[in-house]
């Protein structure tokens, strides 16, 4: 998993509340267990017309936001089913950080496990970030996980809270497999000892 320490990037404003996981990645795209290739289908139903052409008014189709790595959005983002494909699709599109007032618990946890930082800020600060992203689409916003702060030049500086263990994992690029492999020597020792004591297993 790619470490997340500091990100300075374009932020796309998506002023919608209760964006569920079926909006983020519709059910027809869940037939794969590969994490790559889902980005083109992210937000499919609100991103494309029935004929497959792009909806020009959708924020991620606009030239200024096509390379956005930060998504600023409404409360209760990621609600609905617990599909891990949702953060996979966001990450494959290029989104490495989501900023919202609240999230579904499962989606929030899945973000950390897949290298996405979900930042929680008060709604008033979300509104200010949203306005900034709309009025100055090319100006980067900086998210510093180590310092736990979201900044935009000298305009504002918003601190955020994050669980220390989850922060450690993101900063060091450790997913569940990476965490397990940190104990590889202990696991090998246990397996060797078990094989010696219980050769019939």
CATH number at residue 60: 3.20.19.10
Tokens 């094989």, residue located: 195
Has residue 53 been placed in a domain?
Answer: yes
Total-model pTM: 0.89
Has residue 11 been placed in a domain?
Answer: yes
Radius of gyration of the chain (CA): 19
Has residue 182 been placed in a domain?
Answer: yes
How do residues 160-172 score in pLDDT, each as one tens digit? Answer: 999 999 999 999 9
pLDDT (0 to 100) of residue 195? 74
Query: How far is residue 59's CA from residue 62's CA, in Å, rounded to a whole number?
Result: 5
pLDDT (0 to 100) of residue 81? 87
- CB-CB neighbours of 80 under 10 Å: 17
Query: How far is residue 199's CA from residue 193's CA, in Å, rounded to a whole number?
Result: 10
pLDDT (0 to 100) of residue 128? 96
How do residues 10-54 score in pLDDT, each as one tens digit? Answer: 999 999 999 999 999 999 999 888 888 999 999 999 999 999 999
Residue 70 · residue 76 · CB < 8 Å: no
Has residue 153 been placed in a domain?
Answer: yes
How do residues 81-132 score in pLDDT, each as one tens digit? Answer: 888 999 999 999 999 999 999 999 999 999 999 999 999 999 999 999 999 9
What does pLDDT average to over the chain?
Answer: 92
pLDDT (0 to 100) of residue 44? 97
Share of the chain above pLDDT 70, in %: 91
pLDDT (0 to 100) of residue 185? 64
pLDDT (0 to 100) of residue 109? 96
- How far is residue 97 from each of residues 18, 92, 144, 184, 189, measured CA to CA in Å? 18, 12, 11, 30, 39
* Rounded average pLDDT over 181-187: 61
Residue 183 · residue 46 · CB < 8 Å: no
Tokens 């998504």, residue located: 71
Query: How far is residue 109's CA from residue 27's CA, in Å, rounded to a whole number?
Result: 20
For the cut 90, the answer to whether the pLDDT of residue 196 exceeds it is no
Q: What is the dihedral of CA 113, 117, 121, 127, to 10 degrees?
A: -130
Has residue 72 been placed in a domain?
Answer: yes
Query: How far is residue 99's CA from residue 78's CA, in Å, rounded to a whole number?
Result: 12
Has residue 1 been placed in a domain?
Answer: no
Domain of residue 112 covers 6-197
pLDDT (0 to 100) of residue 32? 84
Q: What is the number of domains present in the chain?
A: 1
pLDDT (0 to 100) of residue 123? 97
pLDDT (0 to 100) of residue 147? 98
* Rounded average pLDDT over 48-73: 97
Has residue 58 been placed in a domain?
Answer: yes
């Amino acid at each position: 998993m790619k470490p997340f320490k500091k990100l300075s990037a374009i932020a796309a404003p998506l002023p919608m509340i209760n964006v569920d996981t079926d909006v983020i990645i519709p059910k027809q795209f869940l037939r794969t267990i590969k994490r790559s290739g889902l980005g083109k289908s992210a937000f499919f139903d609100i991103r494309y017309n029935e004929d497959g052409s792009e909806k020009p008014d959708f924020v991620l189709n606009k030239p200024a936001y096509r390379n956005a790595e930060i998504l600023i959005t409404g409360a209760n983002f990621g609600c609905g089913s617990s599909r891990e494909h949702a953060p996979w699709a966001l990450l494959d599109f290029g989104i490495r950080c989501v900023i919202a007032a609240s999230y579904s618990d499962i989606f929030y946890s899945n973000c950390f496990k897949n290298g996405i930082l979900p930042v929680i800020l008060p709604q008033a600060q979300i509104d200010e970030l949203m306005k900034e992203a709309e009025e100055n689409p090319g100006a980067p916003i900086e998210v510093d996980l180590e310092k736990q702060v979201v900044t935009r030049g000298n305009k504002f500086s918003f601190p955020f809270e994050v669980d220390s263990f989850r922060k450690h994992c993101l900063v060091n690029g450790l997913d569940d497999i990476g965490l397990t492999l940190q104990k590889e020597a202990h696991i090998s020792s246990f397996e060797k000892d078990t094989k010696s004591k219980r050769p019939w297993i």
